[in-house]
Every structure is written in C-alpha cells, then in structure tokens.
C-alpha cells in the first residue's frame, strides 16, 4: 500500500538528476559526419542500452521506495543525495566498462589513444573493477540504508506484517547485491589483473542465484503471513 501519491520535491529533483544522467550518456556520442562514423556510433547501441537499463533499474528502485513510504526525513534526504551523486559520477565509468565489454563480445578490435596506447591495459583491469564495483556498493548500500530507515519507522508509517516483511526483504536484496560488489572489489584488489578480468566481473552473475533464493524465501514468508492472517480472521 502506498502512503503518499503526490510527487515530493525530493522525488522531482531525483527525477531531474536521473534524466540528466541519461542525457550524459547521449551527449557523449559525437554526431557522425560519414557513414563510417555512423556505423561506429551504431556499434555503441548495445552498450548504451545496457547503461540505460541499469540507470532505469536504479530509478525504479528509488521510485518504488517513495511510492511505498513517502519519507522526507533527514536520513532519507541525505541518503538520496549520496545516491544521486554516485549516479551522476558513475555515468561515464559505467559507459566505459560496458563499451569495452560489448566491443569484446561483437569482435571490435581494441581501441587505442592518439599515442597508440590501448584504452585499457591489463594492469589497469583491477582498478577498473574497483571503480565499477565501488559504484555498485555505494548505490545498493544507500538503498539498503533507506529501507532500514523506513523499517525503523514502521510503527509511525503504520506498516502491516506484509509491508514490514517487504521492507526487510528489500534490505536483504539491496545489501546482498552490495556485498557481491564488495567481494568483486576484494577479488580485483587481491587477485591481480587475471582475477580482475576472469572473476571480479563475472562474479556479478551471482546476483541471479541470490535473487532466486531470496524469491523462494519471500514466497514462503508471504504464505506464512497469509496463513496467520487467515487464522486470526477466523477467530474474530
């Protein structure tokens, strides 16, 4: 159940920041002057699509939080401010990472700068994964803390048993993804270039099994609440 439906000033500001972040993804593309340049720009479509999807996911989580609780207290505003700062700061690193990944998948030769140095050397891979994973940790930690703050105020918000479970699951969901990011940082830091490329990046595929286990637990937990609710109603 939503606790407030009108858009607050913090939501409006957040929407503007997310829109600006998407704009940064677009304006970083140069206007092509030849078909060759156009074709090169089209090869960036998939990287742009991935980055857009990731930004949209972050926006969707933020939107759902405010639709559920409508909080405008100091902790929520501070955490939202940090979240928006991270989103804006990581737009270009995000695009850089997925442009490299997509180019590698579709077989585009590695790019070089004007001096002939590769845009990404093997020795740079650990730092690249530290930067990317640091963003993941920051974003999802902010969401976990936002939901923890909402759960702390569950009585004031009038959350029923199902909504309280929803808040707890959201904390676990976001904290779990943040912990996968922490593990990726550790692997990239301690494992060197090979581990950073072969393990730290693919480690994010663990999100799939994690979400499956969480979904399985969520289904069981919601059924228990419904059973208890039905039993209580029969006693009235």
Task: Read off the pTM.
Answer: 0.87
> What local confidence, expressed as pLDDT, does residue 111 receive?
64
Of 109 and 198, the one with more pLDDT: 198
DSSP class of residue 199 equals I
Pick from 91, 166, 178: which is nearest to 140 by CA? 178
pLDDT in tens, 189-206: 998 888 888 899 899 999
Domain's final residue, options 110, 139, 158: 110
Q: Which two tokens stand for residue 32?
A: 């092509």
Angle between the 125-152 and 45-69 helix axes, to the nearest 10 degrees? 20
Do 134 and 106 fall within a single domain?
A: no
- Give yes or no for residue 126 having a pLDDT over 70: yes
pLDDT at 44 over 90: no
**Are residue 133 and residue 162 in the same domain, yes or no?**
yes
Task: For 160-182, write each residue's pLDDT tens digit.
Answer: 999 999 999 999 999 999 999 99
Task: State mean pLDDT over 45-74.
Answer: 92
* CB 189, CB 134: distance < 8 Å: no
Read off the pLDDT of each residue in 64-93 and give the average, rounded to a whole number.
93
At 149, the pLDDT band (50, 70, 90 cuts) reads: very high
Residue where a domain terminates, one of 110, 140, 157:
110
Do residue 105 and residue 126 come from a single domain? no
Under 8 Å between Cβ of 2 and 67? yes
What mean pLDDT is predicted for residues 93-106?
84
Residue 150 neighbours by CB distance under 10 Å: 27
201 near 185, Cβ under 8 Å? no
More confident residue, 58 or 36: 58
Average pLDDT of the residues of the chain:
87
Range of the domain at 82: 8-110
**Does residue 54 carry a pLDDT above 50?**
yes
Tell me the chain's radius of gyration from C-alpha atoms.
21
Spatial CB neighbours of 192, under 8 Å, sequence gap ≥ 6? 126
**Is the predicted pLDDT of residue 1 greater than 50, yes or no?**
no
Do both 144 and 205 map to the same domain?
A: yes
Q: Does residue 232 or residue 47 have the better pLDDT?
A: 47
20 burial type by CB count under 10 A (0-12 exposed, 13-18 middle, 19+ buried):
middle
Domain count, the chain: 2
**What's the confidence (pLDDT) of residue 230?**
72
């Amino acid at each position: 159940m939503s606790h407030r439906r009108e858009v607050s000033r913090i939501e409006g500001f957040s929407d503007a920041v997310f829109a600006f972040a998407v704009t940064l993804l677009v304006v970083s593309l140069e206007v092509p002057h030849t078909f060759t340049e156009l074709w090169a720009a089209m090869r960036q479509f998939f990287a742009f699509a991935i980055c857009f999807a990731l930004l949209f996911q972050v926006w969707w989580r933020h939107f759902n939080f405010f639709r559920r609780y409508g909080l405008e207290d100091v902790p929520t505003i501070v955490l939202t401010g940090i979240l928006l700062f991270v989103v804006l700061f990581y737009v270009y690193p995000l695009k850089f990472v997925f442009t490299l990944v997509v180019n590698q998948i579709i077989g585009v030769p590695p790019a070089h700068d004007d001096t002939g140095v590769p845009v990404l050397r093997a020795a740079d891979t650990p730092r690249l994964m530290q930067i990317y994973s640091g963003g993941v940790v920051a974003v999802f930690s902010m969401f976990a803390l936002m939901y923890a703050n909402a759960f702390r105020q569950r009585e004031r918000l009038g959350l029923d048993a199902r909504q309280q479970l929803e808040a707890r699951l959201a904390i676990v969901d976001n904290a779990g993804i943040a912990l996968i990011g922490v593990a990726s940082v550790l692997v990239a830091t301690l494992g060197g270039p090979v581990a950073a490329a072969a393990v730290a990046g693919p480690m994010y595929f663990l999100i799939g099994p994690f979400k499956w286990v969480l979904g399985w637990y969520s289904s069981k937990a919601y059924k228990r609440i419904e059973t208890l609710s039905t039993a209580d109603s029969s006693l009235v």
